[in-house]
Amino acid sequence: MQELDTHTFRLAVAQFDRAAEAMQLDPNLRERLKLPQRSLIVSLPVRMDDGRVEVFTGYRVQHDSSRGPCKGGIRYHQDVSLGEVSALAMWMTWKCALAGLPYGGAKGGIQVSPKKLSPAELQRLTRRYAAEIFPLIGPDKDVPAPDVGTDAQVMSWIMDTYSQQVGYAVPGVVTGKPLSLGGSLGREEATGRGVVYVTLEALRHLKLSIENSTVAIQGFGNVGSHTALIMQQEGARVVAISDVTGGIYNAKGLDIPELIRRYRNSGQSLADTKMGEFITNEELLQLDCTVLVPAALSEQITETNADRLRCRILSEGANGPTTLEADRILVEKGIFIIPDILANSGGVIVSYFEWVQDLQRFFWSASDIQQRLHNIITSAFHRTLQFSNERRTSMRMAALMSGIDQVAQAHLQRGLYP
């Protein structure tokens, strides 16, 4: 399918092919799992504030539902495509299986620059999108969540649109909602907290002290900012942060709470905060540090810059930040990689908690959620590490093979219909 032929989708399939080859996966299953189970492309006519009608393109892709309802975010970005969404849905399948969650992977998105829309236009676009994907979603079918360019308010509009269609409130149709609509404590910082939990386990495994560790983070959105804040609370020194405009570096460590206050509340760029010397995103990736966290967009670490990385641990907060060619270079350099489907799974784990709470109409405390998240994600880390050691393979291949195996077993046990 030509529409799927994007860099990101090719990366996801190449990773899958390599893992499938190593585990000698049934050839019939290999072909089935390369492509999404279901893909929907929708045209979204929206009346703009000036009265004209603009048509946007939206997507919802369900990669696999053999283990339960599909789960995955919705992103609003000008570069959203069927190929990108399909790759992200595939990674979500392996991520959920690796964590032991009863979900398959999905992803959705709209090709739009959300900052160019007024709040009213954004709401009309969201509600039209929710109405178009209505046949696919539901608490027992497919449960969306926030992603790049979307937030709790967007999830509220989707939940309300769905609820209006069925005639009663259905909080469990989406996760990442406000607390007043059945959201969960701990959801906003869940992905960043998960990154920190697995990074701490990696530091212990490598016998490195958290107090003597330095951290550089590419990306200062939801994942990057919470990772930075919690890493600092745990005792690490966060020396560099960046966003799309570039970053700042301070060898003595950045004051993350103050940086967040200036960056979020005053609208300053990172460079405008004057809290460190300006560096480019490329320079940040090449800093001498204990932990590097790519928490921005995919394919940031490639064969052209991988050899210049000087971190000890690469903890992937973003989806697909490292290409296959770069992977080989990093392994040869002895960099310990915590792959994306493990490192950033905290978001979907706490989304799972939110969904369970909505279905039960019974809500948990923040400490309960943090403890349950810690238990699930650190258990997944140690299972992956043990698999990696036993099979003498990389952490990425160990994570992929473990997740793929869970999905393959579900397919083999269910059989082929009809």
- For residues 108 and 40, what is the distance between their CA atoms, to the nearest angstrom? 9
Question: Residue 388: inside a domain, yes or no?
Answer: no
Query: Which stretches of 229-335 are assigned E, i.e. beta strand?
Result: 237-243, 246-249, 277-279, 288-294, 310-315
Q: In this structure, is residue 402 part of a structural domain?
A: yes
Strand-pair category, 246-249 with 237-243: antiparallel
Residue 266 resides in a domain: yes
Q: Are residues 315 and 235 in the same domain?
A: yes
Q: Cβ neighbours of residue 295 under 8 Å, at least 6 residues apart?
A: 192, 195, 217, 218, 219, 221, 223, 224, 227, 317, 318
Give the residue numbers spanning the domain of 41: 36-181
What CATH number should be reported for the domain holding residue 375? 3.40.50.720
**Residues with Cβ within 8 Å of residue 81, at least 6 apart in sequence:** 3, 6, 59, 111
Domain assignment present for residue 371? The answer is: yes
pLDDT band at 1 (very low <50, low <70, confident <90, very high): low
> pLDDT tens for residues 255-305?
999 999 888 777 778 888 889 999 999 999 999 999 999 999 889 999 999
Whether 318 contacts 298, CB under 8 Å = yes
- Say whether pLDDT at 48 is over 90: yes
Residue 7 lies in a domain: no
Query: 167 and 231 share a domain?
Result: no
Is 28 within the bounds of a domain? no
Rounded mean pLDDT, 178-196: 97
The CATH number for 131's domain is: 3.40.50.10860
The residue whose two tokens read 């954004």 is 122
Q: Are residues 308 and 320 in the same domain?
A: yes
Indicate the pTM of the whole model.
0.95
Whether residues 212 and 346 share a domain: the answer is: yes
**β-sheet bridge partners, residue 247:** 242, 279
The residue among 6 and 202 whose pLDDT is bigger is 202
Catalytic center residues: 107
User: Across the beta sheet with 288-294, what order do the strands follow?
Assistant: 277-279, 246-249, 237-243, 214-218, 288-294, 310-315, 336-338
pLDDT the model gives residue 327: 95
pLDDT band of 51, cuts 50, 70, 90: very high
Cis peptide before 69 (omega within 30 of 0): no
